């Protein structure tokens, strides 16, 4: 038999719609009474055969073995921990799929208003443990896996983190997905499926950070569903031609790239609702160029396909700095265009008029990264839906919401106009840019009307920053095109209103600018990472964990038990075992022995000058010098301390990398000093990740959140430590303030200057500098010892030390003495073990506010106007 291929069909996505029943929003046909109509009356066989998954241990074992033999094509005698992990993951995935399908069908049927969370980063970490806990199947799988001769703990360790994010912003997105499913909210995430996540961090023998790629997809990813039939064309470059006087334009030519959907299932806790995270992969639209290939130009033949695949190849490892790279802008446009097309298609399936779009769709922009969605939706509405500009603008400004995550000026995105001109369609007119200019013109006219003749104000508020080259200010565009703008903690939202958005507040009124304090999911950040504490809490409160995990204010019930000695002993014993678990991890990964009888003091976060890891390491050196100056008898009276650091520096951030080098070399010297090593030791744990955080956080007695006041928008690891009964040492900044409000100031250790003082101090540094020797002799001594080479070649660290000796933008010299006093207060408090445990219990008990469930419900009710849509259990 010869097959005939229609040449026109080559390269075109093939799909048959007749049997597409739920996944992409098509419903089975119904008759007049609403009953499903099955195409050939196959209903009986479909329903009979549809999977019901038994949840007993025997069925689970069977399902895992089945996956070993079929999906993995392996034999029982040929299975290692990795194989066992993969088979278990596939078996759990079967359960997730049933719920996910039911959820998507239910949402389609009910057609509620939906919310979409657009984030360039989703820092998910591992999935298996989380899925087992949310499905309530952990103990059954533990037993089932054991019967097969494996340990669940060991196989969980086989999973690679999905590390599609840099830090706080990406992890927040992951916590919000978990909460959206747990709270039955119809929400989808949209992001990019980077082939390589955040780089792996290696530390060289000299103490330098080295970067290696993170090939997280190499072992197959059981948690994603490739949806090769869900694709969109995304066009770059090319021409746009205006049609007549309507303002419409057509777009042609340029590079066409295919966006392919991969769906990641997001299970809720104690509910059937399983939400979706849709990640886009870029692919060449037409394989390779056959003409070049036939002409013998093999490189030329694959060039355009390589450049298409490059778009989603790697996550940019920068946070808090903008860099204006073309590939990053391409990523942003590719992702927003594909996501909007998909959202629009789902909306259109409802059969509603386009004017009702904002009644069915709310889109949250996670920072400015997806802001191109605003001109893109305008383009679709005006050019394709043929709406009038004003009508389109009304829809846009009722659809989008914008969260700002930082007020640091270097982190506010700006794109050079020539780059946008180059990337998006050119010629008459440059379509997206033209749209941006039109938005800007109308906006500035309104500003001029309200504040006549105020040219400076117009210049500040304009979307376009004058200069060479001109730049597009994405935060201005996001603010103008959105219904609401929010910050992520009370202080930060206030700073947004009074600094970067001040002019906009004066123009729009303050009600457009609000606050949603960040939250964290207690499922991962307590139940999963600290199972013993979770069990003790359930036992003490006398309620099932799914109840308090979904209403975290219930933790307050622990307060009634602080005077119960037996409870306190159990609490302290769990902390001790968590410290031993961390010590075991350090022993097995680095071969180092950690003193588990010391206080564990932890600072883990991205390396950045504003986060002041430098202050911490200088404090450690001060402590070391103090201990060295003591007699052995005096030392014995001190409180032994082990300090942990972990975190990555952006590859091009020289000063942050130098800080890592200093930490590693200080560790080398002090951990080896026989005089002091029993009282002070220091570890830099390489390659910080979500999974490493899950081991570190439950083991901490005290954690450090010591940013210069006014610089850390919120912080979320502060919440994680406190939820696990670790106490907080910090500045009056970000969410630290609200944590202190909840747990009481007597249970936190605050130090340092307050936000209003920061500007004045910086001014003084520049115009009335005082030498470090005068300001803080203790700090001067520390700096001199480093320069003198106590930790190896002192010259290496001069650039870092000079940032402090010279302009000291982050106020290390101003806060050092008060920092040291705070550390001493921590020591003193720790000596009274019983009181310390009480503080620890009180801290956990008062963390209810910081559940991401509270935060997501706040967004749902105050911003998106979406409703809980629980899937009935069948």
Residue 646: strand pairing partners: 604
By CB atoms closer than 10 A (0-12, 13-18, 19+), residue 62 is middle
Q: How far is CA 763 from CA 753, 766, 769, 770, 807, in A?
A: 15, 5, 9, 12, 9
Using CA atoms, how far apart are residues 88 and 421, in angstroms rounded to an integer? 50
Q: Which is nearer to ligand 26W, 172 or 761 (CB)?
A: 172
**Which 8-state DSSP code applies to residue 38?**
P
- Looking at the annotation, which residues are catalytic? 405, 605-606, 611, 716, 720
Q: How far is CA 232 from CA 22, 122, 256, 339, in A?
A: 19, 22, 10, 9
Half-sphere exposure of 533 (CA within 13 A, CB side): 33
Closest distance between ligand 26W and the C-beta of residue 557, in Å?
A: 28
Residue 282: strand pairing partners: 259
Using CA atoms, how far apart are residues 558 and 534, in angstroms rounded to an integer? 12
By CB atoms closer than 10 A (0-12, 13-18, 19+), residue 763 is exposed
Q: How far is CA 646 from CA 172, 520, 590, 643, in A?
A: 19, 20, 13, 10
User: Sign of the CA dihedral 848, 849, 854, 856?
Assistant: negative
Per-residue tokens: 574: 């769990």
- Report whether 716 contacts 518 (CB < 8 A): yes
- Nearest residue by C-beta to ligand 26W? 168
Closest distance between ligand 26W and the C-beta of residue 829, in Å?
A: 26
Per-residue tokens: 506: 């004066």
Closest distance between ligand 26W and the C-beta of residue 719, in Å?
A: 9
Closest distance between ligand 26W and the C-beta of residue 858, in Å?
A: 14
Helix, strand, or coil (residue 719): helix
Q: How far is CA 695 from CA 42, 525, 583, in A?
A: 51, 10, 10
- Residues interacting with ligand 26W, by CB under 6 A? 167-169, 172, 318-322, 367, 405-406, 411, 413, 488, 518, 712-716, 734
Q: Which is nearer to ligand 26W, 178 or 413 (CB)?
A: 413
Using CA atoms, how far apart are residues 544 and 534, in angstroms rounded to an integer? 10
- Report whether 570 contacts 690 (CB < 8 A): no
Helix, strand, or coil (residue 216): coil
Using CA atoms, how far apart are residues 116 and 854, in angstroms rounded to an integer? 18
Gyration radius from the chain CA atoms = 28
Q: Which is nearer to ligand 26W, 174 or 666 (CB)?
A: 174
Closest distance between ligand 26W and the C-beta of residue 193, in Å?
A: 19
Q: Which is nearer to ligand 26W, 168 or 792 (CB)?
A: 168
Closest distance between ligand 26W and the C-beta of residue 323, in Å?
A: 7
Going by their DSSP bridges, the two strands 224-236 and 255-267 should be labelled as antiparallel
Closest distance between ligand 26W and the C-beta of residue 610, in Å?
A: 8
Using CA atoms, how far apart are residues 112 and 362, in angstroms rounded to an integer? 11
Q: Which is nearer to ligand 26W, 168 or 848 (CB)?
A: 168
Q: Which of 317, 311, 329, 286 has the alpha carbon at shortest distance from 418?
A: 329
Closest distance between ligand 26W and the C-beta of residue 522, in Å?
A: 17
| Residue found by looking up tokens 């949209």 in the block | 190
- Report whether 670 contacts 799 (CB < 8 A): no
Closest distance between ligand 26W and the C-beta of residue 396, in Å?
A: 23
Closest distance between ligand 26W and the C-beta of residue 368, in Å?
A: 8
Going by their DSSP bridges, the two strands 249-252 and 239-242 should be labelled as antiparallel
Q: Which is nearer to ligand 26W, 488 or 772 (CB)?
A: 488
Using CA atoms, how far apart are residues 229 and 843, in angstroms rounded to an integer? 50
Q: Which is nearer to ligand 26W, 25 or 715 (CB)?
A: 715
Using CA atoms, how far apart are residues 397 and 417, in angstroms rounded to an integer? 23
The DSSP H or E segment spanning 234 is strand 224-236
Q: Which residues of 584-597 are buried (b: 16+ CB within 10 A; e: fewer)?
A: ebbeeeeeeebbbe
Closest distance between ligand 26W and the C-beta of residue 172, in Å?
A: 4
Q: Which is nearer to ligand 26W, 329 or 392 (CB)?
A: 329
Q: Which is nearer to ligand 26W, 235 or 320 (CB)?
A: 320
Closest distance between ligand 26W and the C-beta of residue 712, in Å?
A: 5
Closest distance between ligand 26W and the C-beta of residue 415, in Å?
A: 10
Using CA atoms, how far apart are residues 549 and 534, in angstroms rounded to an integer? 9
If you count them, how many residues does the chain have? 874
Using CA atoms, how far apart are residues 399 and 808, in angstroms rounded to an integer? 43
By CB atoms closer than 10 A (0-12, 13-18, 19+), residue 41 is exposed
- Report whether 862 contacts 399 (CB < 8 A): no
Q: Which is nearer to ligand 26W, 413 or 687 (CB)?
A: 413
The DSSP H or E segment spanning 670 is helix 654-670
Q: Which is nearer to ligand 26W, 292 or 322 (CB)?
A: 322
Q: Which is nearer to ligand 26W, 403 or 869 (CB)?
A: 403
Using CA atoms, how far apart are residues 50 and 45, in angstroms rounded to an integer? 8
Q: Which is nearer to ligand 26W, 25 or 710 (CB)?
A: 710
């Amino acid at each position: 038999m010869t097959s005939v291929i229609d040449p026109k069909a080559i390269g075109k996505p093939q799909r048959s719609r007749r049997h597409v029943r739920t996944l992409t929003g098509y419903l089975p046909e119904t008759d007049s009474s609403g009953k499903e109509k099955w195409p050939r009356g196959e209903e009986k066989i479909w329903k009979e055969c549809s999977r019901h998954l038994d949840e007993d241990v025997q069925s689970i074992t069977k399902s895992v073995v089945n996956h070993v033999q079929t999906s993995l094509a392996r034999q029982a005698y040929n299975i290692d921990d990795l194989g066992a992990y993969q088979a278990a993951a596939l078996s759990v995935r079967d359960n997730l799929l049933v719920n996910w399908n039911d959820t998507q069908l239910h949402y389609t049927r009910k057609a509620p208003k939906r919310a979409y969370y657009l984030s360039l980063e989703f820092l998910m970490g591992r999935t298996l443990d989380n899925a087992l806990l949310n499905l309530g199947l952990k103990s059954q799988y533990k037993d089932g896996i054991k019967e097969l001769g494996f340990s669940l703990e060991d196989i969980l360790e086989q999973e690679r983190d999905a590390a599609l994010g840099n830090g706080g912003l990406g992890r927040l997105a992951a916590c919000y997905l978990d909460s959206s499913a747990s709270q039955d909210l119809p929400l989808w995430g949209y992001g990019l499926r980077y082939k390589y996540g955040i780089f792996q961090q290696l530390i060289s023998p000299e103490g330098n950070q080295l970067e290696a790629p993170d090939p997280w997809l190499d072992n197959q990813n059981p948690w994603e569903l490739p949806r090769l039939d869900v694709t969109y064309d995304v066009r770059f470059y090319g021409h746009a031609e205006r049609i007549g006087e309507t303002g419409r334009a057509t777009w042609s030519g340029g590079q066409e790239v295919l966006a392919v959907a991969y769906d990641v299932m997001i299970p809720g806790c104690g509910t059937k609702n399983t939400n979706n995270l849709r990640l886009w992969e870029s692919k060449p639209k037409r394989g390779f160029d056959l003409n070049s290939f036939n002409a013998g130009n093999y490189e030329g033949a694959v060039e355009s396909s390589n450049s298409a695949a490059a778009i989603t190849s790697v996550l940019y490892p920068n946070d808090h700095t903008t860099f204006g790279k073309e590939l990053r802008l391409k990523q942003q446009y590719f992702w927003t265009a594909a996501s909007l097309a998909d959202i629009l298609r789902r909306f259109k399936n409802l059969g509603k008029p386009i004017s009702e779009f904002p009644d069915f769709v709310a889109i949250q922009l996670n920072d400015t990264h997806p802001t191109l969605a605003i001109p893109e939706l305008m383009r679709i509405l005006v050019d394709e839906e043929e709406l009038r500009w004003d009508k389109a603008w009304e829809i846009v400004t009722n659809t989008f919401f914008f969260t700002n995550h930082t007020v640091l000026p270097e982190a506010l995105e700006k794109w050079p106009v020539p780059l946008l001109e180059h990337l998006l369609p050119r010629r008459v007119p440059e379509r997206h840019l033209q749209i941006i200019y039109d938005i800007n013109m109308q906006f500035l006219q309104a500003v001029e009307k309200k504040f006549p003749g105020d040219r400076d104000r117009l210049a500040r508020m304009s979307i376009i920053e004058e200069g060479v080259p001109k730049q597009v200010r994405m935060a201005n565009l996001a603010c103008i095109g959105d219904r609401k703008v929010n910050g992520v903690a009370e202080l930060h939202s206030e700073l947004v209103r009074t600094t970067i958005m001040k002019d906009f507040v004066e123009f729009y009124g303050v009600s457009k600018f609000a606050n949603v304090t960040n939250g964290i999911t207690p499922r991962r950040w307590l139940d999963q990472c600290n199972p013993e504490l979770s069990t003790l809490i359930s036992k003490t409160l006398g309620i099932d964990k799914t109840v308090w995990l979904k209403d975290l204010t219930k933790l307050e019930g622990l307060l009634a038990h602080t005077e119960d000695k037996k409870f306190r002993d159990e609490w302290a014993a769990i902390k001790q075992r968590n410290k031993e678990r961390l010590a075991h991890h350090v022993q097995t990964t680095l071969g180092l022995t950690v003193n588990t009888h010391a206080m564990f003091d932890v600072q883990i976060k991205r390396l950045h000058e504003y986060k002041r890891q430098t202050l911490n390491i200088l404090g450690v050196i001060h402590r070391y010098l103090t201990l060295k100056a003591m007699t052995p008898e005096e030392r014995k009276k001190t409180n032994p301390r082990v300090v942990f650091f972990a975190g990555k520096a952006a590859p091009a951030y020289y000063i942050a990398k130098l800080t890592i080098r200093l930490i590693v070399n200080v560790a080398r010297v002090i951990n080896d000093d026989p005089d002091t090593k029993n009282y002070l030791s220091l570890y830099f744990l390489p390659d910080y990740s979500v999974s490493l955080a899950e081991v570190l956080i439950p083991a901490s007695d005290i954690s450090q959140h010591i940013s210069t006041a006014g610089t850390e928008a919120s912080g979320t690891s502060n919440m994680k430590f406190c939820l696990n009964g670790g106490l907080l040492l910090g500045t009056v900044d970000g969410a630290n303030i609200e944590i202190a409000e909840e747990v009481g100031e007597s249970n936190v250790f605050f130090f340092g200057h307050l936000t209003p003082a920061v500007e004045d101090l910086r001014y003084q540094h520049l115009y009335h500098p005082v030498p470090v020797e005068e300001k803080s002799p203790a700090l001067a001594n520390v700096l001199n010892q480093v320069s003198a080479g106590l930790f190896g070649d002192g010259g290496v660290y001069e650039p870092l030390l000079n940032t402090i000796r010279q302009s000291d933008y982050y106020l290390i010299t101003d806060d050092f003495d008060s920092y040291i006093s705070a550390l001493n207060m921590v020591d003193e408090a720790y000596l009274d073990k019983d009181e310390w445990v009480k503080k620890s219990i009180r801290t956990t008990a008062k963390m209810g506010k910081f559940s991401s469930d509270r935060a997501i419900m706040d967004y749902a009710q105050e911003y998106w106007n979406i409703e809980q849509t629980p899937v009935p259990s069948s």
